[in-house]
Each structure stands twice: as structure tokens, then as C-alpha cells.
Amino acid sequence: MPERAEIFEVGPRDGLQNEARMIATSDKVALIDHLARAGFARIEVASFVSPKWVPQMADGADVLAGITRMDGVSYAALTPNMRGYAGALAAKASEIAIFASASEGFSKANLNATIEESLARFAEVAEAARADGMPMRAYVSCVTQCPFDGETAPAQVARLVAALRDMGAYEVSLGDTLGHAWPAQVDAMLEAVLQELPAAQLAGHFHDTAGRALENVDVALARGLRVFDGAVGGLGGCPYAPGAAGNVATEALDAHLRKRGFETGLDTEILAQAADMARRLREG
């Protein structure tokens, strides 16, 4: 029987957040509902951040109110602070996510805070989530290199992963935000991180700027990781990482994992339809 690998779909949030053209709430809802029918267990659908900084995500509550919730699907929301957490809780998100940077330069650009300041902010969110029984995932950005600081030391990534683990994150997603990581860099980073958290609680999050995302997935698979973030249609990018391409396309990731002998549980036909929907949203 094939071993299972899971794709965590982040397209509706991490993918669409960087689109310059405002995407209608109804279109986001339709995409999310289609993805749920494809068989995803977890879909990141909203971000409760300041609309001043990420206007594309200003309708998070409306999106969560509009989707047709399917049994067995967790609908996740990004929450950078207590205000965001309160919004996600009120909108009945299934789980939340916090996001830290392994580099000071990116932390200051993306969060307007140092790493230590951001961790203090997240600790408050984590405490509230624990009290409410809300599952919390965590992201770490710039795990191999930063657009401001250059290469990221693996020990620094491991330190941050340990801090997020101690806050109660059930899983930490490791992000090659620029999409330029070489497999050897990913391997060295994972070697350090695995000293702090087992592979079963880690996920790979690879952007495909340099076309090496699937090579880096293979490195992570060899290290025991079985969860990977993908964005349907290859949506995404990052406003604070100029030139970074989208996340690895979910449909390409699904095909790659199947070729490697893993079962993803996704309906390839419905996934292909969702990818077409995502590309049409991007093209307008």
C-alpha cells in the first residue's frame, strides 16, 4: 500500500494575497469550495492582517462565512496578532497560523518587528489559542536565504522552530520564501531543525523561482517530511521578496509525489479544474 503524503493547500491565502487585481469574494469562495471537493484535508483560506498592508485579504470574514464547509476539512486563517486572532475566532476558522521569519531583515519588513518582538506577539496569540482549544500551525520564512540579510544560518532556523514548538504549534512549515534554495542548503537546514522537531511535525513550503522546488521536496522527503504546502495554479509570491515566484503548483506537486510512489488522496480531475479556476483569477 502506498505511503501517504499530504498537500496543505495555501493558494486561497498565500497565493491570492499578492495579486494586484482585487479578487471578488465570490470567486475566492468558489475556488475554496472546489478545492474542498478535490479532497484536501487542510486549506488556508484567509488572513486576518491589516487591510492597509494586504488589501486582498480584507474580506477574510466574508470568505469564511460564504464557503460551504465540508466534513473533514480544516479551514485555516493566518493571524499575526491578537486582533487578527479575534477576527479568525469570530469567523469560525478551524485553525490558525502564525508566521515568523528566520532573518531579522525580513522580520522587520514583513512584520515591522524584530524576531524577538514577533515571538512575544505570537506568544500572546498562542496562549489564547491554547485556552480556546484552537489548533495552531506556524510558518518560518527565509529558512535558507533572505532578500535583506543573505544566507540564513541553519542554527537560527532551528532556534526559531524550537520557540514555535514551545508555544504549542502542532506543525511548523519551513519556507524557502525566495525560491532560490539549493538542495544542499535545504538538507543542511533540515539536519539542524530535526534536532528540535521530528519530521512528522514539519512541512516543506517551497517557492519555485529558480525551478528547484520539486528537487527540494525530494530532499525533504528523504529527511522524512510528508507534508508540503502547495498553491493551486502556482499562485503566489511575496510583496517583501521582490522577484519571488509563486509557491510550487499544487497540481505539479501532486503529480510529483504520485510519481515518487506516494498517495495524496486528491482527485486529479477536480484538482485540474481548480487549477484552471486559479489561473483565470490571476489573468482576470
Catalytic residues: 238
**Counting Cβ atoms within 10 Å, is residue 106 exposed (0-12), middle (13-18) or buried (19+)?**
buried
Beta strands 171-176 and 136-141: pairing type?
Answer: parallel
Look at residue 139 and give its three-state secondary structure: strand
Query: How many Cβ atoms from other residues are within 10 Å of residue 168's Cβ?
Result: 15
> Residues 69, 77, 192, 147: what is their CA dihedral angle, to the nearest 10 degrees?
130
Which 3 state secondary structure label does DSSP give 169? coil
Nearest residue to 178 (alpha-carbon basis) of 224, 236, 139, 217: 236
Calpha distance 75→64 (Å, rounded): 8
The rounded distance, in Å, linking the Cα atoms of 171 and 150 is 26
Calpha distance 132→192 (Å, rounded): 32
Distance CA 250, CA 274 (A): 10
Question: Which triple of cell numbers denotes residue 282?
Answer: 490571476
Helix (H) / strand (E) element for 28: namely: helix 25-38
The answer to whether the Cα torsion of 227, 153, 164, 46 is positive or negative is negative
